[in-house]
Amino acid sequence: MPNPVPMPHAVRPEPSRLYRWMVLIFISLAMFGNYYVYDCIEPVADLLSKQLGFSNSNIGLLQGIYSLPNVFMVLVGGYIVDRIGTRKAIFIFGTICLIGAAVTPLSGRLLLFPVNLGSIHQTFSFPVMALGRLIFGLGAESLIVAVTTATAKWFRGKELSFAFGINLMIARFGTWLAQNSPTWARPAYSTWQTPLWISVAFGSLCVVGALVYWVMESYAEMKMDLKHQGSTDKVVWSDLSKFGVSYWYIVALCIVFYSAIFPFETFAIKFFIEAHGTSRELGGFLLSILTAFTMFGTPVFGLFVDKVGKRALLMMLGSVLLIPVYLMMGYTQVSLYVPMAMMGVAFSLIPAVMWPSVAYIVDQSKLGTAYGLMTMIQNIGLFGFNVLVGWANDHGHASASNPAGYHLGMWIFSILGFLGVFFAFLLRQRETGPHGHGLETITTASASA
């Protein structure tokens, strides 16, 4: 009897477009919870001053300490992503985020007295709140690195910039909800603590999204062909020096751009209340305009850049928009809707172009480390400028009775806008020369050719 002819192995299909986008939705859900928790401090900044006696420096440090562990942890986190894979990393870092969010509002529970005890209350509250933000920061930026790496893994060579845009749109909806929480959760703002407990509920989505992604990727590995989603190799630390000049220009732009945005957001609602006489609800809404622009503008710009390229040029144009907005708010009575809209366009455009650009410059196997290094250096800037601007506001005695005290901080932010244009210009020069990586020319049509 002849031996049976062996049957060929069934060819496993690649993940469908629908499956890829479902993966993106759930990893973005983890980012949504992350972003809400990060921005929950901004609407309570004035309550921390009134009810706990926190200074501007205290508030700046409270937000800046989030970035402190990421001076080293994000690079380690990127390495962890490259070694253990995205699904385990997203779950681990998402769990750390939830723990940090839960610790932050516990400080009031340490006191047996329900009344405000002034400096005694502050003595207990600030260290515990700072510890919670430190723990949260330990996981949050590494979670972003893991999600960013996962997005690049599933969409590289496809709709990468558009996928990054959708990811940021969902994540920044968390920011928008947090900034508008004085309106939709108005009764909670009779005390500083209740809004922070609300943030814990949203922070649980960091773990929920991670668990669903774990299931989806595990199923895909069993049933689908993931060879086009890339793989990870052992990271050689000496490779960090080989990322290339274009990578470092992007990193420099990343530092100055985010340092001009996030430390401003830390004090923005307090600034609007004290320098422009808005209510907390209106101040939160004005700040959320920036977020609303990014929610819808980032995917649009991502889709646009996928079609036309010109990444370095677009980053330079976005940086130009940042230069005048802070001086407009500090020195004029122009409607705040105008500078916030200009910031919104810049904040939509630059991230939609900047983060996907790294995937075209750095090898896939080192992408987690590249994003980790970039985010690490970014967080040095965020920590430093949150503390610096808090000091500048205290140095100028910024308050409702002295709104001019905010001017020094506004100048700091404007100078960062100038530096953003400078680094984007250097990047464009590099990419249009013989050592370019195609940032100005790669489109979805050329990538699939």
pLDDT at 39: 87
Cα–Cα–Cα angle for 428, 430, 435, nearest 5°?
140
Tens of pLDDT, residue by residue, the chain (449 residues): 455 554 445 566 677 778 889 999 999 999 999 999 988 888 888 888 888 888 888 888 887 888 777 677 766 777 777 788 888 899 999 999 999 999 988 865 444 333 344 444 444 577 888 888 889 988 887 888 788 888 887 877 677 778 887 888 899 899 889 988 888 888 988 888 889 999 999 999 999 999 999 998 888 777 765 554 443 334 455 666 677 888 899 999 999 999 999 889 888 988 999 999 998 889 889 988 888 888 888 788 888 887 877 888 888 898 999 999 999 999 988 999 999 999 999 988 888 888 888 878 887 667 767 877 787 788 788 888 988 998 999 999 988 899 999 999 999 999 999 999 999 999 888 878 777 666 767 766 554 44
pLDDT at 141: 79
As given in the structure block, the two tokens for residue 359 are 């995937």
Q: Give the residue from 164, 210, 159, 182 showing the smallest Cα distance to 348.
A: 164
Q: Give the residue from 175, 216, 135, 215 showing the smallest Cα distance to 34.
A: 175
pLDDT at 236: 52
CATH of domain 20-448: 1.20.1250.20
Q: Are 300 and 185 a contacting pair, CB within 8 Å?
A: no
Q: Give the residue from 93, 362, 89 showing the smallest Cα distance to 235.
A: 362
pLDDT at 112: 34
Own/partner contacts of 400-404, CB < 8 Å, gap of 24 or more, are 400/273, 400/274, 400/275, 403/274, 403/275, 403/276
CB count within 10 Å of CB 302 equals 28
pLDDT at 392: 93
First vs last Cα of the chain: how many Å apart?
50
Q: Are 147 and 85 a contacting pair, CB within 8 Å?
A: no
Cα–Cα–Cα angle for 109, 91, 12, nearest 5°?
160
pLDDT at 231: 39
* Domain boundary assignment for the chain: 20-448
As given in the structure block, the two tokens for residue 24 are 């993106």
Interatomic CA distance for residues 330 and 325, integer angstroms: 9
pLDDT at 291: 83
pLDDT at 121: 44
Q: Are 404 and 396 a contacting pair, CB within 8 Å?
A: yes
Phi, then psi, of 15 in degrees rounded to 5:
-60, 135
pLDDT at 12: 65
pTM exceeds 0.85, yes or no: no
